Every structure is written in C-alpha cells, then in structure tokens.
C-alpha cells in the first residue's frame, strides 16, 4: 500500500487494510493460501448469524449438470410485498463462498425486510469464464422459475453483489438474458465492469489498499482464462453497446479503489439510455469496506445507503434522477 493512503483513509478501514496486507504477503501467489487467508480474515471481522434468522441450503443443477449451492435467508417480517434479493459474493472470482458473505446477506435481509439468496458459483481459475457467470444465471433462473422449490414467495426481485459478484450481477442483466422474468433493480458495491485500465482511477490507485492494480489484473486474468483478449460484454459490461435491459441501478464506489471509475463510466453509459442510476462515491474508503461496516461509521453509512436503495427498488420508488458522479 502506498503510504499516502494512511492520511486519506477512514482509520478503521485503514487498520483492516493493513491487516489484509500483512496476511496477503504470506501467500506468494499460492491460491490455496490466498483462500485460507481470505477465510481467516472474514472470520475475524464478521459477526455470527442471528439465532432467529431462518436459513436453508439448497442445490441448483447447472446447465452442464454441475452443482450450484445456494443459501436462502428467510425474512419473516410481515409485509404486503414479499421481496427477494439475490446476492453474488465478491472475491475476484477466485475467493469466497456461502460462508464468507453469510453475515452480509443476513444484514441485507434484516435491513431490507427481504428474503436473500446467496449463490456459491464455481471459482476460477479451476472454472474460468463463462462457468461462474453461467452458474449465477442458472441459479437466478431457478429461483425465478420455481420459487416454491426453495420455499420462497416474493413480488419483487433485486440483483446485488460486491466486486466480482457485482460484475456478474450486471452481466446477468445484459441483453435480456433473464427475460421475460422481471428484475426490479440492480445494486452493486465496488464493481469491476471494464476491460480497460486506461481510466484515471487505475493510475491514481495503482498501489491502493486491499486491491492494488497487479492483484486486480491477476484476478481478472484468472477469470477469463489467462487470455487478455478473451473479453466480451459478459466479462466486462462496460463493453456493452446496448444496456437497455439494465434495471434501475445503485452503485457504491470506493474513492481509493482502482475500480472507482468503472462505476462512474457505467452510470454514464446508463444515462445515455435514460436508465435511472445513482453512484455513491465513498470518499474515505477503499475496496472491501463491507468487512468493517459494523466498526467504521463511514462504511456503516455506505452499507445502509446500499440497503436503502435495495428497499426503494423493491418498493418501486427508486429515484428517477440520474447521477453519474
């Protein structure tokens, strides 16, 4: 991490980022060690699930007959508009699982009075594109086609995710891949959406905390099978010429993140087709801020704003204004 960030970042987030930096140095590029470090880190920072939260695991069969584990978090709040929020976890397509984002999904369920379903898509590099994305799409379609199989009842659907998961949430909405099934909103937290590193945020945040440029590039290459030319709108939604199938969108972008300008450029692309999109720029935070949402006022406020946007999408009262940063 560039020392300049010590004076720029929220102090709680900075402490977390320094801890991640120390543990990351021990991996030496070994994916199994990276995964273990990642799991150890979230376990130190995430609270246990509330005992009162009902949840159940299921398996969806993928188009290639592989198995896709999903976890349903049931919200029992009385409502005339039962809601479903699908969450796709981050981790650079290489890290993460159902457990790593357990508490995040539980918080979304509580804050949005919504059922939440997390998708445990297969990871790269063992399973490069398109397998992780197809797993997400197949799971979403199963939830929307046969909700009773998963003990779900809902009248509105919002797709959501962070980082790599946000990328696939956006890609799932492109070109009507989920039509004619209605998606009411898309909420993304520090998404990676482009195939180009020419944006200013990549230069400004080359040595950013949590996700420096070299790590970002390594993750994306793992996802696309190691071939820099293997990019399409489905790997990089910023490449899409037609974004008319994207629903109303809320993006939380961290200021000190190489991916910051991906969010801003995507919002501008939506603006050209009059699709409501709000970008919230989290000034003193970097990539991965979700992990300190219970300890950092800045991260907590950013997360609450994300949940408020999801709630508005479910209630179909999301602001129609467009803000591209």
Q: Is 25 a residue whose pLDDT tops 90? A: no
pLDDT, tens digit (0-9, with 9 covering 90-100), for 113-124:
999 999 999 999
Q: Percent of the chain, pLDDT > 90?
A: 80
Q: State yes or no: is 294 an active-site residue.
A: no
Q: State yes or no: is 26 an active-site residue.
A: no
Give the tokens for residue 323: 């803000």
Q: How far apart are CA 42 and CA 57, in angstroms?
A: 20
Q: How far apart are CA 86 and CA 310, in angstroms?
A: 11
Q: How far apart are CA 161 and CA 139, in angstroms?
A: 14
Mean pLDDT of 158-178: 92
Please tell me whether the overall predicted TM-score, pTM, comes out greater than 0.85 for this model.
Answer: yes
Q: State yes or no: is 261 an active-site residue.
A: no
185: confidence class by pLDDT, cuts 50, 70, 90: very high
Marked catalytic residue, from 135, 257, 261, 262: 257
Q: How far apart are CA 267 and CA 247, in angstroms?
A: 12
Residue 213 CB-half CA count within 13 A: 15
Q: Percent of the chain, pLDDT > 70?
A: 97
Domains and CATH numbers, the chain: 3-314 (3.40.50.1820)
pLDDT given at position 29? 76
Q: How far apart are CA 289 and CA 100, in angstroms?
A: 14
pLDDT given at position 180? 53
Higher pLDDT: 319 or 160? It is 160
Q: What is the mean pLDDT of the chain?
A: 93
Neighbours of 258 (CB within 10 A): 27
pLDDT, tens digit (0-9, with 9 covering 90-100), for 128-145:
999 999 999 999 999 999
Marked catalytic residue, from 55, 115, 256, 287: 287
254: confidence class by pLDDT, cuts 50, 70, 90: very high
Which segments within the chain are labelled E, that is strand? Answer: 54-61, 67-74, 83-88, 115-119, 156-162, 185-189, 249-256, 277-286
Q: Is 321 a residue whose pLDDT tops 70? A: no
pLDDT, tens digit (0-9, with 9 covering 90-100), for 50-101:
888 999 999 999 999 999 999 999 998 877 789 999 999 999 999 999 999 9
Marked catalytic residue, from 163, 252, 280, 296: 163
pLDDT given at position 81? 84
Q: How far apart are CA 63 and CA 69, in angstroms?
A: 14
pLDDT given at position 16? 95
pLDDT given at position 179? 66
User: Rg of the Cα trace of the chain?
Assistant: 18
């Amino acid at each position: 991490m560039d020392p300049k960030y010590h004076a720029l970042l929220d102090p709680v987030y900075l402490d977390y980022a320094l801890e991640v930096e120390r543990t990351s140095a021990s991996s030496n590029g070994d994916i199994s060690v990276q995964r273990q470090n990642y799991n150890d880190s979230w376990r130190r920072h995430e609270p246990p699930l509330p005992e009162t939260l009902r949840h159940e695991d299921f398996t969806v069969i993928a188009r290639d007959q592989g198995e896709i584990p999903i976890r349903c978090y049931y919200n029992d709040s009385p409502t005339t508009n039962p809601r479903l929020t699908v969450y796709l976890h981050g981790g650079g397509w290489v890290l993460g699982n159902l457990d790593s984002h357990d508490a995040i999904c539980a918080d979304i369920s509580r804050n949005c009075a919504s059922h939440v379903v997390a998708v445990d898509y297969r990871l790269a590099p063992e399973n490069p594109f398109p397998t992780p994305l197809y797993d997400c799409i197949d799971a979403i379609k199963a939830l929307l086609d046969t909700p009773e199989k998963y003990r779900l009842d809902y009248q509105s659907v919002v797709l959501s995710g962070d980082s790599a998961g946000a990328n696939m949430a956006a890609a799932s909405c492109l070109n009507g891949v989920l039509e004619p099934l209605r998606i009411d909103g898309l909420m993304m937290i520090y998404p990676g959406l482009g195939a180009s590193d020419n944006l200013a945020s990549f230069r400004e945040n080359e040595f950013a905390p949590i996700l420096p440029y070299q790590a970002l590039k390594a993750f994306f290459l793992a996802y696309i099978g190691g071939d820099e030319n293997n990019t399409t709108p489905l790997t990089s939604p910023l490449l899409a010429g037609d974004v008319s199938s994207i629903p109303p969108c809320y993006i939380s972008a961290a200021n000190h993140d190489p991916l910051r300008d991906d969010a801003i450029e995507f919002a501008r692309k939506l603006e050209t087709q009059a699709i409501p999109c709000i970008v919230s720029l989290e000034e003193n935070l970097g990539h991965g801020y979700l992990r300190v949402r219970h300890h950092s006022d800045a991260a907590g406020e950013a997360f609450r704003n994300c949940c408020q946007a999801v709630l508005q999408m479910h209630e179909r009262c999301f602001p129609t204004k467009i803000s591209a940063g």
